[in-house]
Amino acid sequence: MSDAEQVRVRAARLFALALKAREDGKCDYADELTKLASEAFDHATRLEATAPPMPPVAAPSQQPAQQQQQPQPKKK
């Protein structure tokens, strides 16, 4: 996960906390959390704009099929 993605996850959590605070009647606290979340989203956008391009992700290589053991003859 890139730095920008991590910041976006934190911002989403801040928004969730803001919603909960507003439900609990803590409007000032909710406003502050909303402001912090918005700043975090802005920061993530700046991180994406200044980050060097990521190399393309290679498709996972095909794993060779596992060989199955041949059943051993039962000893008498």
Q: Which two tokens stand for residue 14?
A: 């801040």
34 within some domain? yes
Q: Is the pTM of this model over 0.85?
A: no
17 within some domain? yes
Q: What is the pLDDT of residue 1?
A: 76
Check if the beta carbon of residue 10 is closer than 8 Å to that of residue 41: no
What is the tally of structural domains in the chain?
Answer: 1
d(CA 76, CA 72): 12
Q: Which two tokens stand for residue 52?
A: 């060097």
Q: What is the pLDDT of residue 47?
A: 87
φ, ψ for residue 14, nearest 5 deg = -65, -40
Residue 18's domain comprises: 3-50
76 within some domain? no
In order along its 76 residues, the chain shows pLDDT tens digits of: 788 899 999 999 999 999 999 999 999 999 999 999 999 999 999 988 887 776 677 766 666 666 667 777 776 6
